[in-house]
Amino acid sequence: MNKGGIIVKRVSDLHNQRFLEELKAFLSIPSISSKSEHKQDVQEAARWTAQSLQRIGLEHVEVIQTDGHPIVYGDWLHAEGKPTVLIYGHYDVQPEDPVDLWETPPFEPVIKDDKIYARGATDDKGQLFIHIKALELLFEEYGELPINVKLCIEGEEEVASPHLPPYINENEEKLHADAVVVSDTSFIDKGQPAICTSLRGALAMELTVKTANTDLHSGTYGGAVPNSVHALVTILDSLHDSSGKVAVEGFYEGVPEPTEKLKKEVAEVPFDEERIKQELGLDALYGEEGFTFQERVGVRPTLEINGVTGGFQGEGLKTIVPCEASAKISCRLVGDQDPEKIYELLMDHVKKQCPTGARAELIKYIQASPVSLDSQDPMIQTAAEAYEKVYGTRPLFPKEGGSIPIVEVFARVLKSPVVLMGFGLPSENLHAPNEHFHLENFRKGIETVCDYYEKLGKQ
Amino acid sequence: MNKGGIIVKRVSDLHNQRFLEELKAFLSIPSISSKSEHKQDVQEAARWTAQSLQRIGLEHVEVIQTDGHPIVYGDWLHAEGKPTVLIYGHYDVQPEDPVDLWETPPFEPVIKDDKIYARGATDDKGQLFIHIKALELLFEEYGELPINVKLCIEGEEEVASPHLPPYINENEEKLHADAVVVSDTSFIDKGQPAICTSLRGALAMELTVKTANTDLHSGTYGGAVPNSVHALVTILDSLHDSSGKVAVEGFYEGVPEPTEKLKKEVAEVPFDEERIKQELGLDALYGEEGFTFQERVGVRPTLEINGVTGGFQGEGLKTIVPCEASAKISCRLVGDQDPEKIYELLMDHVKKQCPTGARAELIKYIQASPVSLDSQDPMIQTAAEAYEKVYGTRPLFPKEGGSIPIVEVFARVLKSPVVLMGFGLPSENLHAPNEHFHLENFRKGIETVCDYYEKLGKQ
């Protein structure tokens, strides 16, 4: 198989239309894992995923129920003496809010300018579907697969995979593979593929501040009783210093000083400040002093407030002293930063900064350790060759700022290299309104994955 | 008429049940002036108020449409040679949020332990209704009124009366009176009446901070782009210093240094710190250093954040860098503080404090100047005598922390003393869930008002 050969022809001519109709059906299921009212939709997406595995010829297909959302498993293990690849992806999606900023409804997929618009288009249904369709084409072409495959697809990635780690721990042998392949990351830019070799850890929390037992009239009590929003903004503002550094004592312990080699590697990822500012509608970028944009998003830890709420937020005004306010906070961690330790440091910090008369509580939602991968691993290098063949460009090996908490678990428990074969673009609004996926990368992604698995089968 | 006489008997025996049924009907109308979806309800409350004036025998009853909500007018001017009183009140109410904290639905009035629970019960429908029912009893008793009365009842008090000042200015002669009587304030405590002699001014605003043109993935961009919530909390936290003082340059210009006389007067208002803390469920009170609780709520200016919103606020988590966040802010002003000037100072302050990469906008909703009244005015002293007769206790003359913006306009345009005859209690949850009104003060309020108008008629 090569570019212009049978597989490539089939993706563009015969299969493309049907594949897109199937992808649209997948994207129409509002499988938002973080919202309890979508529990049945998440189940439906799991069922849909399992059926799509069964239909192409995978075996032992199961929908495994957990205390949260189900795990979908399937395999094909008849390529004797050939490598085994575990394909991981997720069928759950981010919430659609703020829904009024979507140009078309988030769960009614629309194709425009060779891009498909829907929540989950790039993160991760579209990318996951690349693998399923690549396997389908390989089955069609050869009546079998060039390698052994296992698929493990979860519905809780967007809520930090609470139930997958125990499943992996209990099924080490069942899931054992020569490589774990994940398509849930991004290119550097259109036409410039990337295989990510580092993922930051994560720690997500909710901070709640309470004062009086009810909202009070600001005319009667204002200025003389604690105000929960004042207390909250005091605590939140204390989390960073004026140079953009996280101001929580001990936060940077375990963060490696960037070596000259790492700085050089990071600097190789192209970066155009003016273009980013223009794309994002920003007057200026902003971050930790002494580090470049690429370092800030790739190898430095961060603390971001993801949302804040408290008091009256409706139309017009309501002159109250609000009694409760809260914020969602998340950290990205690197090196030897331990999420459990960071959480404790944050609890101490919040306690110290909480003003008189206010009571603060910090609840942990999720935590994940950072992970680092070796770009020289043969499983990663072979993937790079497949990209080069299809795209005509060798992928870069960037340090990704995001977290896929389960990657660290796969690497640690299965002791396998993890190959982060992303097909998204950074501009595709993942986690934001108008999420989309470039169909060029859907088609070429299928070709790349076919070529990768064929290459692995020939080694 | 005296305590135990005809009027008092009628309130308790014959009329009480009917009056309460009428008050319940009034309170059932969700006349929330700040929410556009309640526009028709506000109209309905105006119509209801006008009918209740007509029914008791008032003349020239009108529902005067404005560009906002209507003004209701009515009068009775046949007491030749007797004083004329202009009664002001408002039929609009605060929003009901947070509605899930109400023990009974806010617009389904319920009587429990001789208190009536509903939005508007004490602020101001219940207090306004005292005057309407007092006039009804006087008409019944004498076939006429002992004084001339004019009623001017608005539907925009809770949104700072945007359309009443031009109406007052254009109808100076029509509204002219020897005193303006307002029942929209509170007792010091159960059994201790108060006639408020000072109202703080008000300035209410919304601060909005924007960064990128969309929410961004915190893994991809966090730590390297401006975060609207970070910028907002930095600005908000800069509004006060650590001693509780407002930290906006020039804010305290025009604020009179409390004289020894004023400090003494303010200190006369009883204050029980332990009881207030217990009632409000607070560990500690908090406010501007160097001032007492009574000074903080009565004669000092304040700046309170009434609400804050931004980014993801739903269930669970969403790891974004939010692109927009906002806060509602309101000030209480005293002395010669000019709301227009304070607004300009705040705009300068926000501009200076706004971090790199963020754009802040401060919009003004309402403004009102502070007002001071002379407790020795005969119209106020006569009201005090009426209270003393009915309650057996002489009222105190506190400095009220709240703002009734229109009071300053009445005092300035009509050049009349304003008598703030409150019948609420500070514990009645005005502007908060489970607002209520003590029916003892509804009944005794009617008696007090009857006695006041009779006393004025005899002078």
Name the band, by pLDDT with cuts 50, 70 and 90, for residue B10.
Answer: low
CATH topology for B6-199+370-458 is: Aminopeptidase (3.40.630)
Q: What is the pLDDT of residue A160?
A: 80
* Distance between CA atoms of residues A258 and B51, nearest Å: 78
Q: Strand pairing of A198-199 and A371-372? A: antiparallel
- pLDDT tens-digit series, residues A309-343: 999 998 777 889 999 999 999 999 998 999 999 99
Q: How far apart are CA A163 and CA A69, in angstroms?
A: 8
Read off the pLDDT of residues B161-180 as tens digits, 9 standing for 90 and up: 889 999 999 999 999 999 99
Which of B306, B314, B400 comes nearest A35 by C-beta?
A: B314
pLDDT exceeds 50 at position B348: yes
Contact of B128 with B89, CB cutoff 8 Å: yes
Amino acid type, B231: A
pLDDT computed for residue B405 by the predictor: 80
Q: How would you label A384-395 residue by residue, b for 16+ Cβ within 10 Å and e otherwise?
A: bebbebbbeeeb
Domain boundaries, chain B: 6-199+370-458, 201-255+301-367
Residue A3 — very low, low, confident or very high, per pLDDT cuts 50/70/90?
A: very low
From the candidate CATH numbers 3.40.50.2000, 3.90.1720.10, 3.30.70.360, 3.40.1190.20, the one assigned to the domain spanning A201-255+301-368: 3.30.70.360
Higher pLDDT pick, B102 / A401: B102
At A11 the pLDDT is 72
Q: Are A8 and A117 in contact (CB under 8 A)?
A: no
Angle of CA points B277, B278, B284, to nearest 5°: 30
| Residues A256-273 pLDDT 10s | 988 898 888 788 878 899
Supply the mean pLDDT for chain B: 93
Average pLDDT, chain A: 93
The span from the first CA to the last CA of chain B, in angstroms, equals: 15
Distance from CA of B88 to the nearest CA of A (A): 20
Per DSSP (E only), the strands in A158-301 are 179-182, 195-196, 198-199, 201-210, 216-217
Average pLDDT over residues A160-173: 94
User: Which of B401, B447, B418 has its CA nearest to residue B188?
Assistant: B401
DSSP label of B157: G
CB distance B443 to B16 below 8 Å: yes
Compare CB distances from B218 to A330, A355, A359 and report the shortest one's residue: A330
**Which pLDDT value is given to residue B198?**
84
Q: Dig out the tokens for A190 from the structure.
A: 């259109």
* Residue B100: CB atoms within 10 Å: 6
Which percentage of chain B shows pLDDT scores above 70?
97
- Other CB atoms within 10 Å distance of the CB of residue B259: 9
How many whole angstroms separate alpha carbon A439 and alpha carbon A200? 28
Rounded to an integer, what distance in angstroms lies between the CA atom of residue B185 and that of residue B127? 9
Burial B82-97 (b: 16+ CB within 10 A, else e): bbbbbbbbbbbbbbbb
Share of chain B above pLDDT 90, in %: 80
**Residue A454 identity (one-letter amino acid):** E
In this predicted structure, which of A374-388, B6-20, B372-386 has the lowest mean pLDDT? B6-20
Tell me the average pLDDT across A108-123.
97
Give the pLDDT score at A1: 40
Residue-wise pLDDT for A237-259, tens only, equals 999 999 999 999 999 999 998 88
- Would the pLDDT of B3 be above 60? no
CA distances from residue B430 to B93, B94, B239, B337, B344 in whole angstroms, order as listed? 10, 8, 26, 26, 30
Residue A306 pLDDT exceeds 80: yes
Which residue is closest to B159 within chain A, CA to CA?
A317
Q: How confident is the model at residue B12 (pLDDT cuts 50, 70, 90)?
A: low
CB-based contact B307 A318, cutoff 8 Å: yes
pLDDT value at residue A13: 66
ipTM of the predicted assembly exceeds 0.95:
no
Query: Which pLDDT score is estimated for A439?
Result: 96
CB contacts < 8 A (A, B): 346
Specify the range with the lowest mean pLDDT, choosing from A43-47, A176-180, A369-373, B71-75.
Answer: A369-373
The answer to whether A286 contacts B224, with C-beta atoms less than 8 Å apart, is yes
- Predicted local distance difference test score (pLDDT) of residue A126: 98
Which among B95, B244, B325 has CB closest to A314?
A: B95
Q: Is the pLDDT of residue A401 over 80?
A: no
What CATH number belongs to B201-255+301-367? 3.30.70.360
Section B1-18 average pLDDT:
62
How confident is residue A9, by pLDDT bands cut at 50, 70 and 90? very low
Candidates B220, B283, B334, B352: best to mutate against A (most CBs of A within 10 A) is B220
